Structures are given as C-alpha cells and as structure tokens.
Amino acid sequence: MSARPVRVVLRGLPLKAGALVVFGLSVFPVYWMILTAFKPTSDIQAETPVFLPTSLTLEHFSDAVTADGFWSFWRNSLLVTTGCVLLALVVALGAAFAVARMRWRGRRGFVLMVFVAQVAPWEALLIPMYVIARDTDMLDRLTTLTLVYFMITLPFTIVTLRSFLSAIPAELEEAAQVDGCTRAAAFRRVTFPLLAPGLLATSLFGFITAWNEFAFANMLIIKNQDDRTLPVWLSSFSNVFGTDWGATMAASTLFALPVLVLFLVLQRRVATGMTGGAVKG
C-alpha cells in the first residue's frame, strides 16, 4: 500500500527534473539579460558571476536612454511598426472577409497566392528592394520601411484573421441582415466585436515581426543614420557602448520589454492563433 505512492513519486521525478531543466534553459538568458541590466558594474565585472545580486542600480538604463539617438530610434521603430500593423489590419480585414464569407471566381487562386506570399523568401528581395528604392528616390525613408513591413506582415495577417473569422458563425450576420441591417452594418455590429480578440492577436504578430525586423532596416536606411530603427542600432551596440555590458543589456531589455509583456498577457490567445495560422514572427 505504501510502496505505490513512492514508486509513483519516483516515476514522476525525472519528468519534473526535465521540466525544471527546460524551464531553466528557456528562462536563463532572459533572466541574465534583465539581471545584468540592473547590476552594479562591480558585480558585472566580478570574476565569479553574481547570480543573485545584493544591490541593484538604474544607472545602466540611464546610460542606454541617454545614449546618442536612443529616443529617435525608439520613435522610428514605433512609427514604422504601428504604421505597418494598422495598414496590414485594414487591408487584411477586407481580404479575410472576402475569403471567409463570400463565394467568387478566383477565390482558391487568391488563397494560394496568400500562402505563397506567407512563405516567400523575402530576404531574396533585399537587393532588388534596394535598387528599386534607389531608383525611385525612396532610400533612407521610414515610409519605405513601413511599406516593406506591410508586405511582410500582410500574408499571415490575412491567414490568421481568416481563421478567426471562420470561427464566427455567418448565421449571426445573416440574422442581423434579416433584422434590417446592411451587410456592412451587420459586420460592424455583430462580427467585429466578436473578432476583437482575433484582431488583437493578429496585430501582436504583426507588431513583433515589424518591431524585430533587421535585414531591410539594415539595407534600406544607410545614409540617414538618424532614421535607423532600434534593432539596427542595438546590433551595432559595440560601436555605441563598447564592452559596457550593463548598458547593452539595459538597451536590450528596453527593446524586448513591450513584446515580452504583450506576449505574457496574451499567451493563451497567441498559442491558438499561431496554430490556426501556423505562422511565426
């Protein structure tokens, strides 16, 4: 009688240990980033790493924030990101509605095109994009970046919005239309509120993709260094901070924070949305 629980406990032990290892390995780099950002420089340069600090400082954050151009890069990233997300949402909502709710000739072809665009090797577009932007005098402009990010985020915005839309029964809209609403009003009053979580999750994916994008920002903004975005600035941190790891980790933390918070808050919805659209940022 008493042997069984012990065996059960023992059988569960490797599993629990494995779970802790996975948890530790996934969290440690993030923990180490945030911790270093708060550590006094003497702790950062200690021969034996300090895993649990005794004192914390905000000095590295003030170094990062007052570093040359931080706020303008932050603003650039925010402008480009919100611009592309809003544009993609509006355009994708129309396309997703047409695909999920209407029957028309060429629908299958359109869906196929969206899927192709979703996995399109857009790194192969770096050089032609540069050449086209150069030819049309669009180089070194945030508008160009916004348009490129719109192109990158649009396909998966359509795919995920479509799967959220299909989950809302069309009968609800039809009922509203029977009650005298136009199709547009039925959509606005009935479907749109139900779609809100989907819109939220979808714009989160778009936000993350654009917020993180590096290759195009690195290629298309060259002369006008003030128009760079945060990822490009952060990737050249050694030019900015040298080997000041405290400031570098503070800047990285500030960069990652909005996404980390959004992700943790929306965790469950994100996971279902991801499987629905099978997309990654």
Partner 1 sequence: MDASRARGRGGRRAGVPATLWPYLLIAPTVIGFAFLLAYPLARNLLISFQHYGMAELIRGNADFAGLGNYSAILRDGEFWQVARRTLWWTTVNVTLIMVIGTGVALMLQRLGKRMRTLVLVGLVLAWASPVIATTTVFQWLFSSRLGVVNWVLVRLGFDSFQDYSWFAHGTAAFTVLVLLVVWQSVPFVAITLHSALTTVPAELFESARIDGAGGWRIFRSVTLPVLRPIFGLVLSLEVIWVFRCFAQIWAVTKGGPSGATTTLPVYAYQVAQSLHRYDLGAAAATLTVLVLIGALILYFRQMFRQEAEL
Question: Which region among 58-66, 67-75, 98-106, 194-202 touches partner 1 (by CB under 8 A)?
Answer: 98-106
Q: How far is the CB of 152 from partner 1 (least distance, A)?
A: 9
| 274: DSSP letter | H
The three-point CA angle 272-100-150 to 5° equals 70
Decide whether 74 or 110 has the Cβ nearer to partner 1.
Answer: 110
Of residues 55, 66, 182, 224, which one binds partner 1 by CB under 8 A?
Answer: 182
Of residues 138, 194, 200, 274, which one binds partner 1 by CB under 8 A?
Answer: 274
Position 107 contacts partner 1 (CB under 8 A): yes
Cβ atoms of residues 173 and 183 within 8 Å: yes
The amino acid at residue 197 is: P
Cβ atoms of residues 130 and 139 within 8 Å: yes
Decide whether 45 or 66 has the Cβ nearer to partner 1.
Answer: 45
Position 17 contacts partner 1 (CB under 8 A): no
d(CA 199, CA 24): 33
Of residues 170, 175, 185, 196, which one binds partner 1 by CB under 8 A?
Answer: 185
Residues in contact with partner 1, counted by CB under 8 A, come to a total of: 98
Position 126 contacts partner 1 (CB under 8 A): yes
Position 194 contacts partner 1 (CB under 8 A): no
Footprint on residues 130-159 left by partner 1 (CB under 8 A): 130-132, 134-135, 147-148, 150-151, 154, 158
Which residues, other chains included, contact 126 with Cβ-Cβ below 8 Å and sequence gap of 6+? 215, 216, 219
Q: How far is the CB of 3 from partner 1 (least distance, A)?
A: 21
Of residues 6, 10, 15, 52, which one binds partner 1 by CB under 8 A?
Answer: 15
Cα separations (Å) of 272 from 52, 127, 152, 168? Answer: 36, 36, 21, 15
d(CA 54, CA 64): 22
Footprint on residues 252-271 left by partner 1 (CB under 8 A): 252-253, 255-256, 259-260, 262-264, 267, 270-271
CA atoms within 13 A on the CB side of 5: 2
d(CA 214, CA 229): 8
Position 121 contacts partner 1 (CB under 8 A): yes
CA 260 to chain centre: 9
d(CA 86, CA 195): 16
Footprint on residues 50-89 left by partner 1 (CB under 8 A): none
Which residues, other chains included, contact 131 with Cβ-Cβ below 8 Å and sequence gap of 6+? none
Footprint on residues 223-242 left by partner 1 (CB under 8 A): 230-231, 234-235, 237
Q: How far is the CB of 72 from partner 1 (least distance, A)?
A: 18
Footprint on residues 203-222 left by partner 1 (CB under 8 A): 208, 211-212, 214-215, 218-219
